[in-house]
Chains A and B, each alone.
Chain A
Amino acid sequence: EADIYQTPRYLVIGTGKKITLECSQTMGHDKMYWYQQDPGMELHLIHYSYGVNSTEKGDLSSESTVSRIRTEHFPLTLESARPSHTSQYLCASSGLGAASSYEQYFGPGTRLTVT
C-alpha cells in the first residue's frame, strides 16, 4: 500500500548522541518535508527537498541535516542530540504521483526524547 513511513516511532537517547530519523515514501512523490511539532502545537518546517540531490532549510533554525540520495528516502540526522531537541518530528511528501500535486501527506511521526 502506498504510504509514508517513519522509523523509529519512539526514541529515547542521551545527550551528545548522533541519531538518524528515517523517512520513506512509496507514493512516487518528488517533494519531501520535515516538520517539528510539540504535541498539538504548531508545525515548524525545518527542511524540505524538491527532488534527488535537492535540500533546503525551512523556517525554523535547526541543528539537523538531511540528505536526498533516492527519491523515496529523506533521512534527518542530528549530530549531537540535546534536550532542546525533544519533540515530535513529522515527515511529509507531495508532488508527482498524487491526485493533487499540492497536497502534503504526513507520516506517523517520530517522538524523540533527549535525556
Chain B
Amino acid sequence: GENVEQHPSTLSVQEGDSAVIKCTYSDSASNYFPWYKQELGKRPQLIIDIRSNVGEKKDQRIAVTLNKTAKHFSLHITETQPEDSAVYFCAGGGNNRLAFGKGNQVVVIP
C-alpha cells in the first residue's frame, strides 16, 4: 500500500515569511494528493489538493507542487499569518482511500 512521509516535524516561521512542507510517497499508482490543516481541537480541513496530471496548483497564498518522477510534493504558504499556525497533513492515494503523513506543526511567530 501507499506510504507517505512528511518532513520536517515542526516548522517555526516569522510572520510574513514563507513556509514549505515536503512529502514523499511510495506508490506510483497514487493520483491524488491533498493537504489538510488541523487547528487545535478541530477536525482536519482540506486546504488544497492536486491530481497527478497537474504539476502545480495555487490558491491565493497557498500552492502545491508535484514531482511525479521523484515522487514528492510540497505545500508552499506565502506571507504567513498567525492564523496559519496549525498542524498540516499531506496525504496520497486515490478515489478509494488515502494514506496520511505524520503531520507538521507550523508555528507562525508574530
Which residue numbers of A lie inside 8 Å of B, CB to CB?
31, 33, 40-43, 45, 48, 50, 58-59, 90, 95, 100-109
Contact = CB atoms under 8 A, between A and B. Distances in A.
Given A40-B40, A40-B87, A101-B95, A106 B101 contact: no
Nearest to B4: A42
Interface in B38-67: 38, 40, 42-46, 49, 51
Contacts of A106: 43-45
Interface of B: 1, 32, 34, 38, 40, 42-46, 49, 51, 87, 89, 94-103, 105
Query: Which one of B1, B95, B102 has the greatest number of beta carbons of chain A within 10 Å?
Result: B95
Contacts of A105: 46
Contacts of B45: 106
Contacts of B96: 31, 48, 50
Contact of A42 (B32, B46, B95, B102): B102
Contacts of B99: 45, 59
Contacts of A31: 96
Contacts of B44: 43, 90, 106
A100 B49 contact: yes
22 contacts: A31-B96, A40-B87, A41-B102, A41-B103, A42-B101, A42-B102, A43-B89, A43-B100, A45-B98, A45-B99, A45-B100, A59-B99, A90-B44, A101-B95, A102-B34, A102-B94, A102-B95, A103-B49, A104-B34, A104-B46, A106-B45, A107-B43
